[in-house]
Amino acid sequence: MVKKITKNTTLAKIIEKRGGAKILAKNGVPCLSCPMAQFEIDELKIGKVCKMYGLNLSKILKELNK
């Protein structure tokens, strides 16, 4: 189980957390529905994804760590 989610936490670990996928989707993280991302979900880090898509990392981390 994931303790504290940071910018280096992978999407796979976040999705394991109850409600994690819902929070990612709500904040516009496109990787959940991307077929190619499914192949690398164990390596994709939330910080890098947010940077690539111009998403608010601190807001997403705050929600995920509630």
Q: What is the pLDDT of residues 5-18, one digit of tens each?
A: 999 999 999 999 89
**Contact assessment for residue 28 and residue 54, using Cβ atoms and an 8 Å cutoff:** no
Provide the Cα torsion 38, 41, 44, 45; round to 10°. Answer: 130
Q: What is the pLDDT of residues 16-43, one digit of tens each?
A: 989 999 999 999 998 777 777 778 888 9
* Domain assignments of the chain as residue spans, ordered by start: 11-64
Band (pLDDT 50/70/90 cuts) for residue 2 is low
Can you give the pLDDT at residue 42? 87
